[in-house]
């Protein structure tokens, strides 16, 4: 099995169909898996079946994308190994309730910047957030840059990778959590919100915020009051403001 470290994003990659299959079976967490669009053979079919069994997302890409990652014989498949072990959302919620604590989660909708993700994870771990929920596609890679920016926080805070955030949000609502969307489209100030009850706070992408379909599911929509001319905060800073307002309310 050949594992190499790419300097571009400081992630470990495995290439070659059999090597990736062995990596999955050995228990390695796969962050991203690229398969060449035009490749079809028995090994690729076996790899796809294993990915379905282990719920690993697959991205079909042109061969040029793979060749930019490595010029070696990748056989039409390249996988990025995650720096962490993902957690079960069921376990995260039940563990919080069993401890007699009010669950407090973050849902990150398409936050793609690795350093933003790492900074959010660092703040979340320091504050005692019970877990972070991310989509299996369209989010930041959890690589060594994310680990470094989190100051090691990603070693301790549970991260749950979910296939369908809409389904996940509805599951959280059914589990007794209110959904709080932090968005400039809100009418209510963060400081007028109620965050002491079990809740999951949604933070949206750096480009266009929270997806409309998730906004519609929110029980509360809140904005962070600002007095300056820019009227815009980095998403990791916004996360810190919202997290610690929730902690303040819970400790009052």
Assign 92 a pLDDT band (cuts: 50, 70, 90). Answer: very high
CA distances to 3, 39, 132, 203 from 239, rounded to whole Å, are 35, 42, 12, 7
CA triple 97-103-105, angle to 5 deg: 145
Predicted confidence at residue 1, as pLDDT, reads 44
Task: Tell me, yes or no, whether 115 and 228 share the same domain.
Answer: yes
Quick count: other Cβ atoms within 10 Å of Cβ 61? 16
Predicted confidence at residue 62, as pLDDT, reads 96
Predicted confidence at residue 143, as pLDDT, reads 85
Assign 4 a pLDDT band (cuts: 50, 70, 90). Answer: very low
Assign 190 a pLDDT band (cuts: 50, 70, 90). Answer: very high
Average of per-residue pLDDT across 145-170? 95
Task: Tell me, yes or no, whether 97 and 185 share the same domain.
Answer: yes
Domain of residue 9 covers 3-81
Determine the 3-state secondary structure of 199 from DSSP: strand
Predicted confidence at residue 207, as pLDDT, reads 87
- pLDDT tens digits, one per residue of 197-224: 999 999 999 889 999 999 999 999 999 9
Pick from 24, 46, 44, 27: nearest CA to 36: 44
Task: Tell me, yes or no, whether 134 and 240 share the same domain.
Answer: yes
Residue 229: DSSP 8-state: S
Task: Tell me, yes or no, whether 32 and 93 share the same domain.
Answer: no
Residues 210 and 159: beta-carbon distance below 8 Å: no
- Of the residues 37, 59, 81, which one is the last residue of a structural domain? 81
Task: Tell me, yes or no, whether 116 and 48 share the same domain.
Answer: no
Task: Tell me, yes or no, whether 35 and 114 share the same domain.
Answer: no
DSSP per-residue string spanning 78-111:
EEEEPSS----HHHHHHHHHHTT---EEEEESS-
Average of per-residue pLDDT across 170-199? 95
Task: Tell me, yes or no, whether 215 and 141 share the same domain.
Answer: yes
| Whether residue 117 has pLDDT greater than 60 | yes
- pLDDT tens digits, one per residue of 44-80: 999 999 999 988 989 999 999 999 999 899 999 999 9
Task: Tell me, yes or no, whether 102 and 58 share the same domain.
Answer: no
Pick from 162, 147, 206: nearest CA to 11: 147
Instruction: Count how many domains the chain has.
Output: 2
Mean pLDDT of the chain: 92
CATH classification of the domain holding 65: 3.30.1330.30
Looking at the chain, the whole-number percentage of residues with pLDDT higher than 90 is: 78
Task: Tell me, yes or no, whether 188 and 140 share the same domain.
Answer: yes
Average of per-residue pLDDT across 80-97? 94
Task: Tell me, yes or no, whether 204 and 157 share the same domain.
Answer: yes
CATH classification of the domain holding 217: 3.40.1280.10
CA distance 36 to 61: 5
Task: Tell me, yes or no, whether 22 and 71 share the same domain.
Answer: yes
Predicted confidence at residue 11, as pLDDT, reads 62
Predicted confidence at residue 230, as pLDDT, reads 82
Q: What is the pTM of this model?
A: 0.86
- Of the residues 81, 101, 129, which one is the last residue of a structural domain? 81
Task: Tell me, yes or no, whether 191 and 116 share the same domain.
Answer: yes
- Of the residues 81, 109, 144, which one is the last residue of a structural domain? 81
């Amino acid at each position: 099995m050949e594992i190499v470290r790419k300097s571009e994003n400081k992630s470990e990659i495995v290439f070659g169909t059999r090597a990736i299959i062995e990596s999955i079976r050995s228990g390695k967490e796969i962050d991203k898996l690229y398969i060449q669009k035009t490749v079809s053979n028995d090994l690729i079919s076996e790899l796809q079946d294993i990915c379905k069994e282990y719920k690993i997302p697959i991205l079909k890409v042109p061969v040029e994308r793979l060749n930019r990652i490595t010029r070696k014989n990748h056989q039409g498949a390249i996988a990025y190994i995650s720096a962490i072990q993902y957690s079960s959302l069921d376990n995260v919620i039940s563990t919080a309730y069993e401890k007699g604590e009010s669950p407090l989660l973050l849902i990150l909708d398409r936050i793609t910047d690795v350093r933003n993700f790492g900074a959010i994870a660092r703040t979340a771990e320091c504050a005692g957030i019970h877990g972070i929920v991310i989509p299996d596609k369209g989010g930041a890679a959890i690589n060594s840059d994310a680990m470094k920016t989190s100051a090691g926080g990603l070693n301790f805070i549970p991260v749950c990778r979910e296939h369908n955030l809409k389904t996940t949000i509805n599951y959280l609502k059914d589990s007794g959590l209110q959904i709080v969307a932090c968005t400039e489209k809100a009418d209510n100030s963060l400081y007028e919100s109620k965050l002491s009850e079990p809740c999951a706070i949604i933070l949206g992408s750096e480009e266009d915020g929270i997806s409309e379909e998730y906004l519609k599911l929110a029980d509360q929509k809140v904005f962070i009051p600002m007095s300056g001319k820019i009227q815009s905060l980095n998403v990791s800073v916004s996360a810190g403001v919202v997290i610690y307002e929730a902690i303040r309310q819970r400790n009052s």
